Amino acid sequence: MTSGVLRPSPGTSPGTTAVVPLRDGVSGKSRLAAVLDVGSRRRLVRVLARHVVTTLLDADGVGRVVVVTADPVFARETLAGLAVEVLEQPADRPGLNAALEHAREVLAAGSFGRLLVAHADLPALSPEDVEALLAEDAPVVIATDRNRSGTNLLLLPFDASFRFRFGVGSLAAHLDEAEARGLGVIVAHRPGTAVDLDTADDWSQLPDEVRAAVGQQVPGLL
């Protein structure tokens, strides 16, 4: 499915709409180039994306999962067999924040009330982590990274006039944005939401069982 108005998948129930931005299969995980060749990095992107999407699909309260990407062919191959929708990012709107703005605009007509943005590289994310965020009593919930400077998941009202400000220092930027919009905010700290996988140091911070599971599929990491 490409850009345009997406329809809810058959059998979905009302709940939060989860949006997962996914990069192409070529440029991702460049900071792991010292330990993984191009093919292994591409495989890692696939493994992590399938894990995050499967986790979201398994979480109570998530009614729809949409992946927004500039490389829909790679996304569909990566997520084959999963009940996920793929939305193509326009070439004239590059970048992560623009991709999310585009997804929100396209999905607004069929939204279920709340939007959850989840990065595609969270190897320790569990359904319980997602459900805990959805249960928080605040309009905006930010699951920060282990350094407490970035944003790994972001939950907000679908109709909020809230600008996405992912990038360096996004936790502070998103807190400022919530304050400017008069929206209450909670910052969540959970082991499963805190560690993404961009660097060798990130790899060392993962639980042993997560490293073992990912390493079985991407042997170069071991």
pLDDT tens, residue by residue, 171-182: 999 999 999 999
Residue 46 belongs to some domain of the structure: yes
Distance CA 209, CA 212 (A): 5
pLDDT tens per residue across span 102-118 = 999 999 876 657 999 99
153 or 31, greater pLDDT: 153
Higher pLDDT, 28 or 199: 199
Residue 127 lies in a domain: yes
Q: Does residue 10 sit within a domain?
A: no
Q: Identify whether 204 is part of a domain.
A: yes
* pLDDT band, residue 211 (cuts 50/70/90): confident
Q: Which residues pair with 68 in a beta bridge?
A: 21, 87
Statement: residue 26 has pLDDT above 60: yes
Rounded Cα–Cα distance for residues 193 and 33 (Å): 24
- Domain encompassing residue 159: 16-213
Residue 185 near residue 175 (C-beta atoms within 8 A): yes
Three-state DSSP state, 151: strand
Q: What is the pLDDT of residue 12?
A: 40
Name residue 33's amino acid. Answer: A
- Asked if 106 and 4 count as a contact pair (C-beta separation under 8 A), the reply is yes
Of the ranges 8-12, 22-26, 194-198, which one carries the lowest mean pLDDT score? 8-12
Average pLDDT, the chain: 88
Does 6 fall in a domain? no
* Continuous segment of H or E residues that includes residue 203: helix 200-205
Q: What CATH number has the domain bearing residue 98?
A: 3.90.550.10
Mean pLDDT within 73-100:
95
The torsion region of residue 15 among left (phi > 0), alpha (psi -120 to 50) and beta comes to left
How many Å apart are CA 64 and CA 208, to the nearest integer? 31
**Is there a domain that residue 96 lies in?**
yes
Spatial distance between the Cα atoms of 211 and 113, rounded to a whole number of angstroms: 35
CA dist 119 to 71, 109, 178, 180, Å?
A: 16, 23, 20, 24
Q: What global pTM score does this model have?
A: 0.89
Share of the chain above pLDDT 90, in %: 68
Whether residue 219 lies inside any domain: the answer is: no
Q: Is residue 4 part of a domain?
A: no
Number of structural domains (the chain) is 1
